[in-house]
Amino acid sequence: MTRVAILRYPGTWSERDFQHALSLVPGVESDILWHEDADLKGYDAAVVPGGFTYGDYVRAGAIAKLSPATRELRRFADAGKLVLGSCNGFQILCEAGLLPGALVRNRGLEFRCDWVHLRVERDDTPWTTGLRDAVLRMPIAHGEGCWVADDETLADVESRGQVVFRYTDERGGATAAANPNGSLANIAGVCNEGRNVVGLMPHPERCSEALLGGTDGYRVLANLAPALAGTAPALYR
């Protein structure tokens, strides 16, 4: 049985959505852990869900990065364990230095709540095995989802193959019109160099069954058990 820890900070609101979505994946069980006493020993993977941690004061994820749970998450990731951050979780991972770049206010300065399309750029992460070039449809709900980086970091991220998801139209074209928040190079999600930490702004947990309007999020989450069963590429095992 694959064990997943779902981290809950003050202001997190998507932890139960993730727990339900993960309950649909055979061979996976999950626990919601409070940030002050989060101990990730014995867990195979960790999820940092969406929300407004600490009210997004200062900026999204800036206070959460100082939490005991985030310190434990760094240790966990450094040991090669699998980490997924969605929306506010992506922001926290970037603020904590576990992923490159930063998330800032949407270019239009509006909160965006909509369905978007994104193309899977990499299939060498534990969350995207077998999905390369797939165009997924997922919901977003964020006001600070614009991924930015300096020129050197952007060049490194592109050259090292760390772009995992890119906003596109339904045919997979990365056009300006398909970019909901102004992210550089239409980037919707990235990974670390080790490929074991992945973050994205869309919500896979919100499209994990047909009742919710789509199942493409399940396609991402369902990769977890096979990745930990020894069938994952050695790069992130």
**Nearest partner of 187 among 151, 148, 217, 153, judged by Cα:** 148
CB-based contact 215:207 (threshold 8 Å): yes
Which of 15, 72, 121, 205 is catalytic? The answer is 205
CB-based contact 14:6 (threshold 8 Å): no
Which of 35, 87, 117, 121 is catalytic? The answer is 87
Distances (CA, A) of 100 to 86, 185, 203: 15, 14, 20
Q: Is 87 a catalytic residue?
A: yes
Tokens read off for 110 = 């509006």
Q: Is 203 a catalytic residue?
A: yes
Residues 6+ apart with CB under 8 A from 203: 14, 17, 50, 86, 87, 138, 139, 140, 141, 217
Q: Is 144 a catalytic residue?
A: no
Which of 95, 146, 203, 207 is catalytic? The answer is 203
User: Which amino acid would we find at residue 29?
Assistant: E
- Give the active site residues: 87, 203, 205
